[in-house]
Amino acid sequence: KSKRTNAYTSSEDKLLCECWRDIGQDPKVGVEQKASTFWLRVHRGYHERKKFVSYQMQSKRGWVSLLKR
């Protein structure tokens, strides 16, 4: 089992896959975009469409860790 498996909830994983698919199949850009541009678009699309709090941020420990940075 991969360590990454627990990094995302089912909802987060599904949304990430949908964004990856949608950006990858964008007929306006196609396969001509650079990898860095592709992943930036996936990142932006994911956060624009996300309607839930990330799993890591739901725990008090996660917030405390961020506040100490």
Residue 37 lies in domain = 3-67
Mean pLDDT, contiguous 10-residue spans, the chain (69 residues): 64 92 86 86 92 63 60
Angle in degrees, 0-180, between the axes of helices 10-24 and 35-49, rounded to the nearest 10: 130
Query: What is the structure's pLDDT at 9?
Result: 81
Supply the DSSP symbol for 25: T
Q: Which pLDDT score, from 0 to 100, does residue 1 have? A: 47
Burial of 55 (0-12, 13-18, 19+ CB in 10 A): middle
Count of structural domains, the chain: 1
* pLDDT score at 34: 87
Q: What letters, b where the CB count within 10 A reaches 16 and e where it falls short, cover 21-41?
A: eebeeeeeeeeebeeeebeeb
